[in-house]
Every structure is written in structure tokens, then in C-alpha cells.
Amino acid sequence: MKKILILLIVFGLSSSCTDLSKLNVDNKHPKDVTAEALLTNAEEMTATRMASTNVNYNIFKMLAQYWTETTYNDEANYDLVNRNIGGNFWTNMYDILLDLKKAKEVVDNDVVTDPAIKVNKKAILDLMQVYIFHVLVDTYGNVPYSEALDIENVTPKYDDDQAIYNDLFSRIDADIAVLSNGGPSFGSADLVYNGDVTKWIKFANSLKLRMAIRVEDATKANQAVSGGVFTDNSDNFTLHYLKTPPHTNPIWTSLVQSGRHDFVVANTFVDKFLAVDAGDLDKRKSNYMDDNLGAGTYVGGIYGDNNRYSTHTHIGQPFHQPDMPATLLGYSEVEFLLAEAAERSMVGTPADAENHYNAGITASFEEWGHTAAEASAYIAQPTVAYATAASTWQEKIGVQKWFALYGKGFEAWSSWRKLGFPVMNTPAISGLPVPRRYIYPNDEPDVNGPNYRDAANAMGGDLLSSRVFWDN
């Protein structure tokens, strides 16, 4: 497994014109890196890797069939080998994990900071690691875990995906217990919560709820809810980008700065979205899709086909802004998770599902700048109302959650794998079904052969059709 430890310093260093000795400092290869700088970088890189639409490593928006390609359409046809997509995403995420490990070591060696603050810092760093490991499991299945962050070991074993999840639950619980003592942590170096440990507890419980629903564990789901999950959009795990490079949203980089026209909204999304919104009441339409073909005219690109950019609906204007925020876990998702938990009688009863479903839609409207009253008008439509929207709860929740997660490809793809809705299209050229996982890096058979083969065999083969343990 490739392990490249990249320590990026995101804080500017000021210098005095009278102190020429500072010119001899090599800022590109620092000897000492603060835990604050490492956390800042880890948060930005995690958000960037998860939000990006760079086809070299992140095709989740196409796996969720929100978007499709124009001239070059290999990725929309599920070719993950040509660009080594599985390998590039793998390397990116493990590099961030190594930075977080380094940050923990820096905190441990800090002889100045109050021990209570150090405990909070390490818990926050650990929660970041838990989030990334759960993404890796959900993306690949079995992955290196127990031996993954030893840079001296270039052939780590792959751990069982379910066993990794079990350990991640334990880590979340331990981190929540520590943070419950309160107190300061990283302050402004924490780009998401500004060091607010109460917000981090809500994030931890909300992540635990997501994972508990994946594995259908009622005990853990109830523990998460009792501990306090997100209750409004102010709790969202969101990173806010800047208007000027290099700290801009990566989607803007792909859609605007590159000068390329590689993506249009897929017909999978356009057709379903318009069919459900029979009364034209979904105000999110202006956020999700551009009206470049004229007011009220939307034509989705045929999924997986060669689509002309000029004759199909473009991606909404918010995605063309450099400072568009990236949300990795939000209140709307939590409400849809609670709706699912109610239908499964894991948290509450099926009678509670409708309220959570409506709350999830409303939260999504508000996240995009629309009102609760506008959400209520949309919900009142027979094609949306919980009693009449579809024949099964899986379709009701699955479709509306998919709408609410627009642009958040990883979680939308994961939700589709769990609920089976919406019904996806078959790519026009390859005719392949939607992948159930990323395949492992192209070079793993050579670099880490025996461990790779054991993992692949345990997964039923290193195939796009193989499934992670909760995808049943």
C-alpha cells in the first residue's frame, strides 16, 4: 500500500524585514508541525476529497447518477481501472489518516498544554480518523486498519470490514465520553466547529447513527439519539471554502477554473426530480439545475452516453461558486436516518417515520436557503406526501433522501445501496450495473500480493459487484 506522508502547512508565516535569519528557514520542509496545522489541513483535505468531482479519484456523484459526462465518459460507464480511481482515492484518504496520526503524536509530546485540553484534542483527531475509516470500509469493504498507519510496514494486512466497524463504534463511544467533560480544544484551527466540543459530540452521535443504520443495530442507534444528534442545520459538519484559490471548493475547480465542460445533470436525476415535483413547487430546482435551456426547460444527459454540453441541462449555479461549502454529514440526512430507523422499529415505531421524513425534506429546503413554508407546500403534493408517495417506505425515503443529498455523492450512493432506491439507469455504453464498491488499487496485487488476495477472496473477488458487509 502506498503511504506518502504529506505535511501541508496552511498557516502563513510572517517575517520581519529586519530579521534576515528567517530567510534561511525552509518552510516547505518544516521540522516541527503543530497539531493545529495538521487538523486544519486534515479537515480541508477530507472535505475536498469527499466533495470533489475529479474523475481521477472521486466519481461518487456519477455512482449516484446525479451527473454524467460529455466527451469523455469512461467513468460514467464504471471504468475504474484506466485512471486507477480506486488507487488514487485510497492513497488520498490514507495520507490524511497519517497526518491525523502525526497530529496525535504532536499532542502527546506537548509538555505545555493542559492535559484536559490534550485529551479533547486527541478525541477530535480520533473522530476524524473514524470518519475516514468508515468511508474506506463503505467504499472498498475489507481494508488495512490495524496495521495501516505503520509507515515501516508496506504490506499491511487487510482487516475484516465488519470487525473494523465494531472497533470504530468503540472508538466513537470513547471519544464521546472524553468530550463530555467539556472544555476547550483546537479553537479557530478547527475549521468546522471552531473547537466547540459540544458540536463534536453531536457529530460523533450523528456519525454513530449513520453507521448504526447501515448495520441495523437498534441499540447503537438509540444510544446515538439519546446522546444527542444534529437538531438543525447549524450542527452540520460543513467546511466553508474561500473565494480565492487555493482554498476553494474543488467542484468550482472542475466546473469553472478548468475551463472545461465535462459534466451535465444526468437524465436519471432530471426525469425523476421533475416527475415527483408535479406541481413545480420544489424550490431547490434552481440550486440543483441551471435553466440554460430556457425557463422551465430541463433535459438531462443520457447517463453514460456522449452528451453535448450545449444541449443538456447544466449543473446549478451554486456549484459554480468558489466558496460553496462542503457538508459531509448534515441535519437533513439525520432526519432521513431517523425515518428509516422508525420504519425498521429500531428507534421509535413506523408511526414516527412520517414526521422525520417531513423534517428531512424541510431541513434540505432550509439548507439551500428556502423556507419551511415552501417545504410544506412541496410535501403536500400526493407524489411527495408520505401516505401516497410510493408503495414502500424504502422508495419514499430513498427517493427524497436522494433529492436532499444532491451533490453529496458518497452518501447518496451508500443510501442507494442500503435502500435500493431510486431505480438507477443502465449506462448507455457499458451496460454495467451500478458498482457496489470501488475496486482496490491497480498495483495492490504486486505491492501487497498475499494480503490483497486474502482480502479479495474474502470479498468474493475484487469486483465492482462484490458487496461490503452491510450491503445485503
Name the helix (H) or strand (E) containing 359: helix 353-367
Strand blocks (E) in 7-147: 67-69, 143-144
Q: Which amino acid is at 273?
A: F
- How far apart are alpha carbons 390 and 394 in whole angstroms? 9
Amino acid (one-letter) located at 349: T
pTM to 2 decimal places? 0.93
**DSSP string over 380-439:** TSTTTSTTTS-SSHHHHHHHHHHHHTTT-HHHHHHHHHHH--SPPPPPTTT-PPPPSSPP
Cis peptide before 422 (omega within 30 of 0): yes
Domains located in the chain, CATH noted: 36-246+323-458 (1.25.40.390)
For the stretch 323-343, pLDDT in tens is 999 999 999 999 999 999 999
Extract the C-alpha cell encoding 287. 440550486
State pLDDT tens for residues 156-173. 999 999 999 999 999 999
End-to-end CA separation in angstroms for the chain: 28
- Contact, 327 vs 203, CB < 8 A? no
Q: Bridge-partner residues for 315, per DSSP?
A: 289
Note whether 63 and 437 are within 8 A (CB). no
| pLDDT in 10s for each residue of the chain, 472 residues | 443 333 333 333 333 333 323 333 344 444 579 999 999 999 999 999 999 999 999 999 999 999 999 999 999 999 999 999 999 999 999 999 999 999 999 999 999 889 999 999 999 999 999 999 999 999 999 999 999 999 999 999 999 999 999 999 999 999 999 999 999 999 999 999 999 999 999 999 999 999 999 999 999 999 999 999 999 999 999 999 999 999 999 999 999 999 999 999 999 999 999 999 999 999 999 999 999 999 999 999 999 999 999 999 999 999 999 999 999 999 999 999 999 999 999 999 999 999 999 999 999 999 999 999 999 999 999 999 999 999 999 999 999 999 999 999 999 999 999 999 999 999 999 999 999 999 999 999 999 999 999 999 999 999 999 999 999 8
What pLDDT does 31 receive?
A: 56
Report residue 52: phi and psi, to 5°.
-60, 155
